[in-house]
Structure 1
Amino acid sequence: MSLILRRLLSLCSLSVAALSAAAHAGEVQVAVAANFTAPMQAIAAAFEKDTGHKAVIAFGATGKFYAQIVNGAPFEVFLAADDTTPAKLEGEGGAVAGSRFTYAIGKLVLWSAKEGFVDDKGEVLKKGDFRHLSIANPKTAPYGVAAMSALGKLGLGDSLQGRIVQGENITQAHQFIATGNAELGFVALSQVYKDGKVTSGSAWIVPGDYYEPIRQDAVILSKGKDNPAAAALVAYLKGPTATAVIKSYGYGL
């Protein structure tokens, strides 16, 4: 067999393999907590490259996603910002039993877009040299609950109440600070952290005993129980590529 013929046959084999993979690739509709936006974008790109499956993602507040899911939203996998909401869905029959697992443990940080504004002990909160403190809505966002818990631990929950501005979710809370509408606020560490350091501004990583652990659970929803792409995504989230990304954004595992 000539060298040219062998190369042609090899190319044909590769093309058939690629077409076969494409034929088996699918899509999965995913609801993702806003704090996990940057890591999930990176994971979704790697997931599509490695498996051929595409994750179609919506980002938002966990509480709002719960309401949408129980009202028939077409999501197939849910990555929440807590562990109670996925457990509730599982108990109500809205999720596949046994598919729930903790994909990340979130961390809370007090952050300002201004260099040197937040000290490494959070004393800026007690000094009160600011007009607005941004947090996520504690009614719908677990990071908002954690922020209020931290303020309570510091004995500042009542005295700072009039300065708090609430974002609909943790992304909006971060935007208030980034745009200067609030001098500082409580956000997810993952929003301002990459590869071992805070990427901009100034920050105080809130001690873990100031709030309940933010265990973030994922679950396959009932609408995704027969979708191979949903199962593939959940498996991928547990694998080395995804866990490396998750760690790089400051989450615990």
Structure 2
Amino acid sequence: MMNCMVLGVLAGLLLSTAAHAESVSVAVAANFTKVAEELAPLFKAETGHDVTYSFGATGQLYTQITQGAPFEVFLAADDVRPTQAVTEGFGVGGSVFTYAIGALALYSTSIDMADGKAVLEAGAFDKIAIADPATAPYGQAATETIAALGLTDAVTPKLVTGENITQTLQFVESGNAELGFVAASQVAGKSGVWIVPANLFEPIRQDAVLLKTGEGNPAATAYVDFLRSDAAVVVIEAAGYLVE
């Protein structure tokens, strides 16, 4: 009889948890794709909630948000658009925070990148890939780096522009460009990587914001809280990001 009672209580708890489980839709900057996917099962295990992601360039995602896309949390690759979301009435005031600080890398599958600065200055390549600087913060950081090195005129004719940082990496790995500027997290553990000195570009502060569409969704607020948890920070830092 006691065993039956215990089983009944456990079943009730499981049903209660399932009944309160929700799902959250999160717009995520493309550079954070791998990390976000690693965080999903941890979030599920900790909260019982599900998460669905939409990946893309920060600027493109923000445009979708302003056009009514049903995202509930926005993980940008800059610290501009999340604040802009609040100012323009799409984000919840007081919910913006920096979840990661990114690093920029110059990557090649065919060129020795021990000294990336020397590679850029030598210019012995036909194509170099960057993400669209108008919509992708890592692309903007790449153009700042090129300018800081005084190579804008020499490099600009050789640029191949990716729609986002994921496509930029694909250009390099497919051989459509001999090298390219990508997020350091995308090429962690790979050879042919030069980490760009941080003094060559403005810090890539990646901010998150709870969107007003998710304000009443427990899964959305739980995801924002989860991003700040020790479990999430361990994964984010392991991917090569800094967390304040």
Q: Say whether the fold is shared (TM-score over 0.5).
A: yes
**Pairwise CA distance, 1:121:** 4.5
Deviation at 1:39, TM superposition (A): 0.4
In the alignment, structure 1 residue 27 sits paired with structure 2 residue 23:
yes
Give the structure 1 partner of residue 47 of structure 2: 51
Q: Are the equivalent residues in 2 in contact too, given 1:110–1:122 (CA < 8 A)? A: no
Whole-angstrom CA distance in 2 between matches of 1:67 and 1:121: 34
Please, which of 138, 147, 150 is the counterpart of residue 143 of structure 1? 138
CA distance in 2, matches of 1:155, 1:6: 78
Hey, what does 1:131 align to over in structure 2? 126
Counterpart check, 1:189 vs 2:184: yes
User: Amino acid of the residue matched to residue 79 of structure 2?
Assistant: D
Within the alignment, does 1:212 sit opposite 2:202 as a pair? yes
How many Å separate the matches in 2 of 1:136 and 1:6?
63
- Gap change, CA 1:12 and 1:120, over 3 Å in 2: farther
Q: Of residues 77, 81, 84 in structure 1, which corresponds to 2:77?
A: 81
**In the comparison of the two structures, how many residue pairs are matched?**
243
Q: Hey, what's the Cα distance between the residues in 1 that align with 2:175 and 2:44?
A: 36
Uncovered stretches (5+) of structure 1, i.e. residues with no partner: 194-198
Q: Within 5 A, what are the aligned runs for 1:147-166?
A: 147-166=142-161
TM-score, L = length of structure 1: 0.93
Shift of 1:173: 0.3
Give the whole-Å Cα distance in 2 for the aligned partners of 1:142 and 1:74: 23
Q: What is the distance in 1 between the residues matched to 2:26 and 2:79?
A: 17
1:251 aligns with 2:241: yes
Q: What residue ranges of structure 2 are gaps of 5+ in the alignment?
A: none
The runs of at least 4 consecutive aligned structure 1 residues that moved more than 6 Å come to none
Q: How far apart, CA to CA, are the structure 1 residues paired with 2:181 and 2:116? A: 14
Structure 2 residue identity aligned to 1:90: V
Q: CA RMSD in A?
A: 1.1
Aligned to 2:34: 38
CA contact (8 A) 2:106 2:116 kept: no
Match of 2:169 among 174, 186, 189: 174
Are residues 1:68 and 2:64 paired?
Answer: yes
